[in-house]
Amino acid sequence: MLFRRIARIVARLGPFVVVIAVAAGARAAPMTYFVGFSGVGTLPALGAFTYDAAAPGFSNFIVLWNGTLFDLTSAANAPNIGGACAGAASSPETGFALMDHSMCGGLFSRWFGNQDVASSTFGFYNETLALPAQTGATILATGPGSNDPFSVFGAGEWTLTGAKPGAFNYVVNFSGVGTLPALGIFSYDPSTPLFSNFVVSWNDTLFDLTSAANAPNIGGACAGATSSPETGFALMDHSMCGGLFSRWFGNQDAASSTFGFYNETLALPAQTGATILATGPGSNDPFSFFGAGEWTLTELPGGPVPPSAPEPSTAMLVLLAGLIIAACRAIPTRRRLSS
């Protein structure tokens, strides 16, 4: 009897249940993904994009390959379409389906890069295994040529890794003198707090600063500063005490390379606030390279969900349970009144 009563109640509340289910099914904030590459030839140093399934749309899509930074954002939002997948449209949904390998069946996926003295190309595509081959979709971008007389090539497969949900994701914008970084990006979650990743590409070398950002070196410029992720983020967003100027710097010679961020007092003798530093390999060039300057941060779309907000599925169940209980209590009351 109880199950029949609940079934009748749910039937009466049908429109409300549908509304709740639709609200629960809505996707949350945009998500940042990192692309993991494998294959032959020259592999990309980094690939990352942010995709909002609710909008839908790519707000950024960048790949660093052979020292060239390719912006594939526009191409991902409007990929080229072949004849392999019936009904496929040149849309962000198709671009994401290509990237997460969910675009129809019977297709294999490949990334590829080409560069010579005249130009460079980087792209992702999928294609039928059976001949004659048909392409499903292609995301493609072009770039400048190289100073090397020999052509460079790379190709292979990829996987996706989602950034930690709820993390803030930032792009570092560099200015200054000498060799400027090609890319800087990190994810920081203030609720943990923790950097889940922090990478910079400078002078064709990829520096992983994640550990250093979570435990920066501390100087005497800021009283009470600790070697913690909070201090690392305060350094990066220029909020670490007052009277400091901030600099990034990079050095590379034949033996080793160094890249870092630091802030320091203007008054002499200079005192450092904090330093985030990573080392890397040397270059094959007999000349030394140097770069230094300032930076700003750009927050990528999508911030953390407020911790007090329940998950959509939980909210749906709580609201549905409340409606059912209220309706169950109302039915005996109506029967007593009618009798």
Cα separation, 170 vs 287, whole angstroms: 32
At 249, the amino acid letter reads F
Domain boundaries, the chain: 2-25+314-338, 34-165, 173-296
CA distances for 326 relative to 302, 314, 321, angstroms: 37, 18, 9
Q: Cα separation of 142 and 129, whole Å? A: 26
Give the list of residues 6+ apart from residue 187 with CB closer than 8 angstroms, or none: 32, 163, 164, 167, 168, 169, 170, 195, 196, 197, 198
Going by C-alpha positions, the residue among 299, 298, 300, 304 that lies closest to residue 191 is 304
Return the minimum-mean-pLDDT range out of 74-78, 166-170, 214-218. 166-170
Contact 123, 110 (CB under 8 A): no
Are 120 and 112 a contacting pair, CB within 8 Å? no
Tens digits of residue pLDDT in 174-187: 999 999 987 788 98
- How does DSSP assign 52-120, residue by residue? ETTTTEEEEEEEEETTEEEE-HHHHHS-EE-SSSTT--SSHHHHHHHHTT-SSSSEEEEEEEEE-SSEE
Neighbours of 144 (CB within 10 A): 11
pLDDT tens sequence across 203-229: 878 899 999 999 999 999 999 999 999
Average pLDDT, integer, range 27-34 = 68
The residue type at 127: E
Long-range contacts: 58-64, Cβ < 8 Å, 24+? 58/92, 58/95, 58/96, 59/30, 59/300, 59/301, 60/171, 60/300, 61/139, 62/183, 63/35, 63/122, 63/141, 64/182, 64/183, 64/201, 64/206
Please give the pLDDT value at position 165: 53
Residues 284-293 have pLDDT tens digits of: 788 899 999 9
Q: Is the pLDDT of residue 300 over 70?
A: no
Instruction: Return all residues near 58 (Cβ < 8 A) that are at least 6 apart.
Output: 49, 50, 51, 73, 76, 77, 92, 95, 96
